[in-house]
Amino acid sequence: MSEKDMKKVGAPKQKVGMTDTNLLLTITIVVFFAMYIGAILFQGKGFLKPQTFLNILNANASLIIVACGMSIVMITGGIDISVGGVVALVSMCCAVYLDFKGGNVFVAILIAILIGLAFGMVQGFLVAYLDIQPFIVSLAGMFFARGMTTIVNTKPFNVANEQFKQLKETRIIVPGLGSVNKLGKYVNAYVEIGVIVALICVIVLFIMLRWTKLGRGFYAVGGNQQSALMLGINVKKTKFLSHTICGLLAGIGGFVYFMHVGSGSASHASGMEMNAIASSIIGGTMLTGGVGNIIGTFFGVLSLSTIQNIVSSAGLDQAWWTGITIASMLCLFLVVQSVVMARSKKKTQKK
């Protein structure tokens, strides 16, 4: 009975306006589709080919995974800027293990996951139980990961492990999306394994955030720590777990990145943390915590990489255009967020 009452009370509220999460998510998805359609209209047929879209996915599978982890930390009200460093460290360690030690691919995957978990747990402990600012902790984490990468091995090199090469070159054919190339041959559309991993991550995390106790705990802690504490949520444990999950995903993302590039280098994934944060913000995750959506993050990554593609195919090849466009896009979304925040604050004050 009480549930019904709750619904009755809740129903008119939802009709008044969209929640912040939904509004931001809608903006992101609309912007993405508008951009893609614009690209098709003004940049010619290149963008019409399904493979162009799939290539964006192929190149950004690792970013999707890493950005998902970032979103979870951001929803909980923290931030983790060590993810780029962890990705570089994972790919270097796996490369050294596979190439110099002639190791097994499955052990390499295990190494990747363990490195990610270790970073996540240490940072989570420092943030949650010692109450240190997440920015500083993960800043140190980033320093440490980048430094360790060069200590493990200085020179960049390609991996020649047979087992790994097989895995790297595995292509999964997407039925029905192939196209006819210039020679009149039918070419199958394909995705790499990483994309499948990324999609699984997105789905699992989406379900977790929406329907599990832990997932709701993330929102509660990010929204208001005090009231979450009073609701009986273990705030420290929740924060710890959010960082642990982010670290784990950075490890997985690191291996996916490694599968895509097939080499180890200290300069890998430079600036990836900033791209991950930017995608999360574009996807409607609020930095103040409590608001966000994994689907939005997914579209955020796609928007970011589509804009990069548009810029480079528009002939604005000079390197600076990419930076400037991404930054202006980020700026736009941040301002939109802050306006939305101000609006919802006013609403609650009126009530």
Partner 1 sequence: MATSKKETGAKAVLGKIVRHQLFIPVAALLILAIFNLIADPSFYKITLGYSNDGNPILSGYIMTILDYGSELAILAIGMTLVTAASGGQDISVGATIAIAGSVILRVLCGTESRPETLKAPIIVAFLVAVVVSMLFGAFNGVLVAYFKIQPMVATLILFTAGRSIAAWINNNELPIISDPKFGYFGGFIPGIPIPTTFFITVICVIIIMLVLKFTTLGLYTQSVGINESSSRLNGLNPAFIKFLSFVILGICVAVVGLIKVSRLSTINYSVVAKDIEMDAILAVALGGNALSGGKFNMTASILGAYVIQFLTTTLYKFKVQSDALPAYKAIVVIALVVMSAPIVRDWMSKTWKNLTKGNKAKEVA
Q: Does 190 bind partner 1 (CB under 8 A)?
A: no
Collapse the DSSP code of 173 into the 3-class scheme (helix H, G, I; strand E, B; otherwise coil) and give the result.
strand
At residue 172, what are phi and psi to the nearest 5 degrees? Answer: -100, 120
320 binds partner 1 (CB under 8 A): yes
Binding to partner 1 by CB under 8 A, coded x per residue (else -) over 67-86, reads ------------x-------
Q: Which stretch binds partner 1 (CB under 8 A): 23-31, 97-105, 124-132, 159-167?
A: 124-132
For strands 157-158 and 171-180, give the pairing.
unpaired
Extended beta strands in 149-226, E state: 157-158, 171-180, 186-192
Instruction: Name residues whose C-beta falls within 8 Å of residue 24's C-beta, 6 or more positions apart in sequence.
Output: 283, 284, 286, 291, 293, 296, 336, 337, 340
> What is the C-alpha to C-alpha distance for residues 111 and 105, in angstroms, rounded to an integer?
10
Q: How many CA atoms lie within 13 A of 61 on its CB side?
A: 24
Shortest distance (Å) from residue 328 CB to partner 1: 7
Out of 13, 17, 143, 210, which residue is the one contacting partner 1 (CB under 8 A)?
A: 143
Verify binding: residue 154, partner 1, rule CB under 8 A: yes
**Pairing state of beta strands 263-264 and 186-192?**
unpaired
- The widest CA-to-CA distance across the chain, in whole angstroms, is 68
Q: Does 315 bind partner 1 (CB under 8 A)?
A: no
Are 256 and 62 in contact, with CB atoms under 8 Å apart? yes
Closest CA to 147 of 100, 86, 238, 61: 86
Tell me: does residue 168 bind partner 1 (CB under 8 A): no
- Tell which one of 11, 131, 155, 351 touches partner 1 (CB under 8 A): 131
Q: Which residue among 114, 177, 199, 341 contacts partner 1 (CB under 8 A)?
A: 341
Binding status of residue 326 toward partner 1 by CB under 8 A: yes
Say which amino acid occupies 274: M
Taking CB under 8 A as the criterion, the residue among 18, 338, 343, 346 binding partner 1 is 338
| Contact between 322 and partner 1 per CB under 8 A | yes
- Binds partner 1 by CB under 8 A, chosen from 212, 314, 335, 343: 335
| CA 217/CA 239 separation, integer angstroms | 9
Residue type, 44: G
- 34-63: contacts with partner 1 (CB under 8 A): none
By the rule CB under 8 A, 316 interacts with partner 1: no
Which range touches partner 1 (CB under 8 A), out of 31-39, 161-169, 187-195, 313-321? 313-321
> Judged by CB under 8 A, how many residues of this single chain contact partner 1?
49
The minimum distance between CB 89 and partner 1, in angstroms, equals 10
Distance CA 77, CA 226 (A): 13
The whole-angstrom separation of Cα 90 and Cα 77 is 26
Nearer to partner 1, 158 or 288 (CB): 288
Comparison of 181 and 312: residue with beta carbon closer to partner 1: 312
281 touches partner 1 by CB under 8 A: yes
Q: Binding partner 1 by CB under 8 A: which of 25, 112, 287, 295?
A: 287
Q: Give the number of other Cβ atoms within 10 Å of residue 150's Cβ.
A: 15
Q: What angle do CA 193, 81, 31 make, to 5 degrees?
A: 65
Residue pair 197/61 in contact (Cβ under 8 Å)? The answer is yes
Q: Which of 323, 343, 346, 347 binds partner 1 (CB under 8 A)?
A: 323
**Selected binder of partner 1 within 132, 167, 214, 229 (CB under 8 A):** 132
Position among 108, 198, 277, 294 found at the interface with partner 1 (CB under 8 A): 277
Tokens found for residue 111: 């190494």
Footprint of partner 1 (CB under 8 A) = 79, 126, 129-133, 135-137, 139-144, 146-148, 150-151, 154, 266, 271, 274, 277-278, 281, 287-288, 318-324, 326-328, 330-331, 334-335, 337-339, 341-342
